Amino acid sequence: MKNLNFLKSSLIAHRGVHDLDIPENSIGAFKLAIEKNYIIEFDVHLLKDNTVIVFHDDNLLRMTGVDRNLCECEYDFVKNLRLINTKYKIPTLEEVLKLVNGKVPIIIELKYDRKVGLLEKEVSKLLDNYNGLFCVKSFSPFIVRWFKRKRPNYIRGLLISDKNRTIREKFCQSFISGIICKPDFISCNYRLSNNKQIMKYMKKIPVLAWTIKSSIDYLKYKDKFYNLIAENIDKF
């Protein structure tokens, strides 16, 4: 039986503790989260040369000003880019794991802009030797299924949005019954607190809600979910 209690040991810092001077998914944001003893949630992508980086978007433009898709880039290209004109660079997953080093739990969201199995394999190489509490999650049930088959000891979560923006997302969300991936937990938009399917899940497995950004929403939803993924945490 997997122990998921660590997922409610503190509030979950969405992409670390970030603000105007410290960008999301940066070493600075993660250092602050560690100092404040928050669980850290962050995103990972796979570059063309199979380097795993910690970054949310599938394109560099919003965070660096460079209009290139990550799947077309190698690490030598991105390693010196600055995040939103700050001193911070895009970290690799290896760098982040060395920084955190088990000090706080981590939640890793895997993006799916390349063939299923590639990113998962590289992430697993690093996590297999990581001495700390962690879990993995994704919007793709096929990524979650990969971990179910290849790393059954990993705690795995399925992300569920409140929007069906693409046919692919609609297809993926049709599997939330867990037939394909059998997640250990669900992570959903907080607006789904009264969704019938989510309420069914709450009776069986933990449900984490994202992304809380105000004290008003924190007070409104803190007792409705297993835990909250939040920003502006210090203002709650």
Dump pLDDT digits (tens) for 82-95. 999 999 999 999 99
Position 142 in a domain: yes
Q: What's the mean pLDDT in 145-151? A: 96
CB 132 within 8 A of CB 102: yes
Angle, alpha carbons 115-119-121 (nearest 5°)? 110
Task: Read off the pLDDT band of 167 (50, 70, 90).
Answer: very low
Position 59 in a domain: yes
For 28-79, what is each residue's pLDDT tens digit? 999 999 999 999 999 999 999 999 999 999 999 999 999 999 999 999 999 9
For 179-226, what is each residue's pLDDT tens digit? 778 899 999 999 999 988 889 889 999 999 999 999 999 999 999 999
Q: What's the mean pLDDT in 165-185? A: 64
CB 214 within 8 A of CB 190: no
Task: Read off the pLDDT band of 172 (50, 70, 90).
Answer: low
Position 236 in a domain: no
Q: Which two tokens stand for residue 95?
A: 């760098």
pTM comes to 0.94
CB 150 within 8 A of CB 128: no
Domain containing residue 101: 5-231
Q: Pairing mode, if any, of strands 227-230 and 12-14?
A: parallel
Domain count along the chain: 1
Position 216 in a domain: yes
- Name the least confident of 38-52, 92-106, 149-163, 171-185: 171-185
Position 170 in a domain: yes
Position 65 in a domain: yes
Query: Residue 109, Cβ neighbours under 10 Å: how many?
Result: 21
Position 93 in a domain: yes
Query: The domain spanning residue 175 has which CATH number?
Result: 3.20.20.190
Position 167 in a domain: yes
For 11-32, what is each residue's pLDDT tens digit? 999 999 999 899 999 999 999 9
